[in-house]
Amino acid sequence: MAADSKLMARALERFRADKERREAEHRRQVAEIYRKVPRAEEITRILRSTFGSSVAAAFRSGPDPQPALRALKEQNLSLQRERAELLVANGYAYDALEDKPRCALCGDTGFTDAGPCRCLMAYYAQEQNKELSKLLDLGNQSFDTFDFRWYDERYWPHEGISPRENMEIIYELCANYAHNFSPKSTNLLMTGAPGLGKTFLSACIAREVSNAGFSVVYDTATHIFAQFESGKFGRENPFDEDAHTDINRYLHCDLLIMDDLGTEMATAFVTSTLYQILNQRLVAGRQTILNTNLSLEEMGRRYGAATLSRIEGEYQILTFFGEDIRRQKREQ
C-alpha cells in the first residue's frame, strides 16, 4: 500500500501525541497510587532493588541454586499478590502500575518489521478521511444510506432496462469493488448525466477503501489540472497548496478519484496531462476512478483517440441514466 507522506506525517504526529498523553496519564496515576497506598510503592521498590542481588546470592549459595531461586520466585509472587490486592482494595485495577503498550504488535512504536503497524494506519485512515471530507460528505455518504427510490422502476426501451435495475447492478459492482479493493482491482469510468449518484457512489468507495488502509485521493478534474499547470509552469497557485506535493499524491496514491472530468477548460495541456496521469497510473498498476457527464464519444473528441483507447481498454464503464435526483428533491 502506498502511503501519502503528507497524511502519514500528520498521522505520526497525532499517534505520538496520544502516546505521550497516555504516558503522562500513567505517571500521574502511579504518583496518585503511591500517595494513597504507600505500601504499594514500598513493594515496587523491594522488587526492583532485591531481584538482581538475590539472584546472584542464590548462585553463590552452593552447587544447586534451584531451591534458592524457587524461594526467590515465591517471595516475589507473594509481594506481587499483596500489591495487586492493595490496588483492588483501593479501587484500582490490579495491574494499574504496569506501563503496558496499547498495541501488542508494535509496542506502541507504530512500526513492525513489515512497515507501519495497523494501530498507526488507523490514525492514517482518520487523517485521510479528514482530507476526503473536504470535498465529500463522508458523514452521510455510505453504501448503507444509498436510496434506490429515486430511480424509476419503469422500463426504458432505448436502454433495455429500467433506471432502478441499472442502478442496482451499478451499486452491487461499486460495493464489491470497495469491499474487495486490491492492487489487482480494475479502473472505473462512471459516465452519465448530472445528479444520478456518481459522486455519491465515489464517496462510498473512497470511505471503504480508505478505511481498509489504502491511500485514496479524491479531487476535481479542474483542481488536478490546475495543480499540474502550476507545477509545470511555476504559475501562481490560487489554492495556497504545494503543487508538486499534490502531483505526487495524484500519481502515487493507491486509488485516485477524479470527479467532474469534462468541466475544466479544454486545452492541449489538459489533454496531454490527462493522458499522462492515466498512463502513468496504469503502468504502475494503480487504480483510478473517473467521473464525467460526457459520453464516450464526447470524451474521444475532447481528449483524443489515445486517451479514449486507454479508457475503453483498461476501464470498466458504468453508465448512469435516469431522472436528476437533485431536481427531484427540489420539486418535492
Query: What is the set of domains in the chain, with CATH numbers?
Result: 134-331 (3.40.50.300)
Q: Are 129 and 141 in contact (CB under 8 A)?
A: no
Burial of 29 (0-12, 13-18, 19+ CB in 10 A): middle
Q: Is 266 helix (H, G, I), strand (E, B) or coil?
A: coil
Per-residue model confidence (pLDDT) at position 238: 43
**DSSP assigned state of 319:** E
* Phi–psi pair at 291, nearest 5 degrees: -115, 130
CA distance 122 to 32: 32
Q: Which residues of 230-243 are buried (b: 16+ CB within 10 A; e: fewer)?
A: bbeeeeeeeeeeeb
Cell 479501587, located at residue: 91
Going by C-alpha positions, the residue among 269, 217, 279, 222 that lies closest to residue 248 is 217
Query: What does the pLDDT profile of the chain (332 residues) look like in tens digits?
Result: 566 777 888 889 999 999 999 999 999 999 999 999 999 999 998 888 765 555 555 555 556 667 666 777 888 889 999 999 999 999 999 999 988 888 888 989 999 888 888 888 888 877 877 777 666 665 566 788 888 888 988 989 888 999 999 999 999 999 999 999 999 999 999 999 888 999 889 989 988 898 888 888 888 999 899 989 887 655 554 444 567 778 888 998 999 999 999 999 999 999 999 999 999 999 999 999 999 999 999 999 999 999 999 999 999 999 999 887 878 777 77
Q: Coil, helix or strand for 117?
A: coil
Give the global pTM: 0.69
pLDDT at residue 26, rounded to an integer: 93
